[in-house]
Each structure stands twice: as structure tokens, then as C-alpha cells.
Amino acid sequence: MSNLFRSEWYKLTRNRSLWLLCIVLFAAAVVNALFVYYDNSNDGGAMSASSGIELWMSSLSANQYIIKIGLSILAGFFISSEYANGTIKRAVTSGFSRSKVIVAKLTAYMLGAMIVALIFPAVNVVLGSALLGFGSLPDASNAEYVVRTFGMTLLVAAAYASITGFFAILLNDSGKTVGFSIVFYFFIDGIIIMASKYIPALKTVYEYSVLQVVLDYANETLSSSKLWTGIIVSAATWAVFLLLGIAAFRRKEIK
């Protein structure tokens, strides 16, 4: 298993889409922090953050788009592209069970997803603190907020990676995976909310889904019960879709 993971990690670190995403997100974060520094909201500017911690907070609320789009791109070019290249054959015939093969791949992908999810807020807070000072939050402890949101970012990224990884296993093709995942993530909230008018139980399902967690976890005043719900929902989503991914891959014929 460790051999498989080492091989997947090697592939991930040489995956151009991961590097491209990292560079784009790094550059976007630098630009964002510089905008905030030069565009003073007290002087008619549009940017509202005035410290590193506020930049961390605002970048986390934008992070849901990065998680949804970034992970879809990474899944397409890290998982699905192996079907097009034929390299999935090498893994399947390597003498390890299919479950181990796909767990190694999804684990590497999940770590890549966590890196993608952290870059934008991390660069913002570091650069923002250097330029504006770290600052403080009015309604919460800085340390508690940073630790909580840092952990939740990783957990939410893992849950989304698990879902997108499952799509990638099913779809076999980079273009289809990227396209389908982005369309799915952009419309699923609206579809569920609309459908819940006719099936009220869907509203409850939505409120206890990772789709809702990603919207809430950066709230400064998140209650303890909501935090625990977020942790459990994210962990359960990760586990369920990982198992679905394993089941799908075990039955998959490699063409």
C-alpha cells in the first residue's frame, strides 16, 4: 500500500494541473492582499479587510468556489486522465487489489485537494499580516478561529475531494469530469432548494450536507453544535464517497 501511495504522490507532485492551480491561486492571493493594502475602505475603497485575520476570514468565504472549481480540475487531470493515457492499466495490473489502488490514488488526490484549498487563504493571511498586521476578531479568539477554520478547510476539502474523486472514477474522461463536476456544484444547491418546496425533507438533508457546511464553516460566530455537525457531516461525506469510489472502481472494466 505504501508503495502505491508513494507512486501516486510522485505522480501528483509532477501533475501540471496541480502546479498551475497552485501558481494561479498564489498569484490571486498576492493580488488580493495587495489590493486590500492599497485600497483603503476608509478612503472610499471597495476592499473591507483591515488586518491579516480579516483577510483570512474573507478569503475563506471565497474559498468555496476554489474548492469546487479547483478540485474538479484536479480530479479531471489527476484521476480521469489516467484512463485516456492508459496508465490506469499499470496500476490495475500492478499486483495490488483494486481497493488498494484506488485508495492510494484518492488519498494522494485528497492531499492535493487540501493544498489547493489552503493556498488562497494561507497566502492572504501571511501577506495580509505582513502588510497590515495580524489584527484581532471582535467576537472570537484569534487562535481558536484560525485553528477551527484551518481544520475545517482541510476536512471540507477532503469531503469535496471524495465526491469529485467518485465522479472522476465514473466518468473516465478529463473533460467530462471537469465539466460535469463544475456544473453539478454550481447547480446542485439551487436544484435542492427548489425541489425542497415539493419535498420538504430535502431541506433538512441539505442543511445537514457538506453543501451547507462549506457555506457556514468560516462564520466567526459558529456555534459549537454547528461546528460538530460540520465535522461529522464532512467526515461522513468523505467516508461514504470513498466507499462508493472503491465499489465503483472494483467493478470497473479497463478498456
Partner 1 sequence: MNEYVLRTRRLTKKYKNQLALDDVSLNIRRGSIYGFIGQNGAGKSTLMKLATGMAFPTSGTIELFGESGEKELVRARRRMGIAIEQPALFPQLTAKENLEIHRLQRGIPGMEGIKKTLELVGLEGTGMKKARNFSLGMKQRLALAVALLGDPEFLVLDEPTNGLDPVGVVEMRDLLRRLNREIGITILISSHILSELHLLATHYGIIHKGRLLEELTLDELQRKCRQYIRIKVDSPQRAAAVLERELATTEFEVLPDGTIQLFEHLEHPSRVSGALAEAGLAIEQFMPMGEALESYFTKRIGGEA
The answer to whether 39 touches 46, Cβ cutoff 8 Å, is yes
* Sole binder of partner 1 in the list 40, 94, 136, 141 (CB under 8 A): 94
The answer to whether 67 touches 117, Cβ cutoff 8 Å, is yes
Residues 33-92 within binding reach of partner 1 (CB under 8 A): 85-92
DSSP 213: H
Question: 117: which 3 cell numbers?
Answer: 484549498
The answer to whether 51 touches 125, Cβ cutoff 8 Å, is no
The answer to whether 36 touches 132, Cβ cutoff 8 Å, is yes
**Residue 71 or 92: which CB sits closer to partner 1?**
92
**Residue 26 or 96: which CB sits closer to partner 1?**
96
User: Least distance from C-beta 101 to partner 1, angstroms?
Assistant: 9
Binding segment (CB under 8 A) for partner 1, from list 11-19, 39-47, 114-122, 158-166: 11-19
* Sole binder of partner 1 in the list 42, 46, 95, 225 (CB under 8 A): 95
| Binding flag, residue 229, partner 1 (CB under 8 A) | no
| Binding flag, residue 21, partner 1 (CB under 8 A) | no
The answer to whether 91 touches 105, Cβ cutoff 8 Å, is yes
In three-state secondary structure terms, 136 is coil
| Binding flag, residue 106, partner 1 (CB under 8 A) | no
Binding residues for partner 1, rule CB under 8 A, total 23
